[in-house]
Amino acid sequence: MGAPDGAGLLLVTTRDTAPTTWGPQARLVPLEPLDPGPSGAALRDAAPAAGTAEEAAALGERLGGLPLAVDTAGHYLANPTSRYRTFTAYRHALATSSVTSSVPNTRRQPQPPPGTV
């Protein structure tokens, strides 16, 4: 999507796929969630010392394979001042945190058609 003033680039991540929301200049690019293997690989690329490929894949699955969530978690885990330093600890924190209790632990849920509730 081009920036409103015509210079630069604006990237928006959203589940709102209605073209009327974004206007005629927006280019909507639907992305599917990553499978556990590729999401785990991305986590290991960002934080190679945080655990095994299997642990990374389990965290990637818990994050729903959402690329932005996977990228954010990987960079968080790579930070030496982070509270959680392993894939398993991060996944456990997600499972026990009251902040994320409303986040579904499922992947690829069907979305209702635009305009429906």
Instruction: Identify whether 14 is part of a domain.
Output: no
The total number of structural domains that make up the chain: 1
pLDDT at 8: 75
The pLDDT of 51-75, averaged and rounded, is: 95
Instruction: Identify whether 45 is part of a domain.
Output: yes
pLDDT at 106 over 60: no
Tell me the one-letter amino acid at 48. Answer: P
Instruction: Identify whether 29 is part of a domain.
Output: no
Verdict on whether the full-model pTM lies above 0.75: no
Domain range for 85: 36-96
Instruction: Identify whether 51 is part of a domain.
Output: yes
Report how far residue 97's alpha carbon sits from residue 91's, in angstroms, rounded to the nearest whole number: 10
Instruction: Identify whether 114 is part of a domain.
Output: no
Instruction: Identify whether 103 is part of a domain.
Output: no
The residue behind tokens 């982070």 is 82
Instruction: Identify whether 6 is part of a domain.
Output: no
Instruction: Identify whether 9 is part of a domain.
Output: no
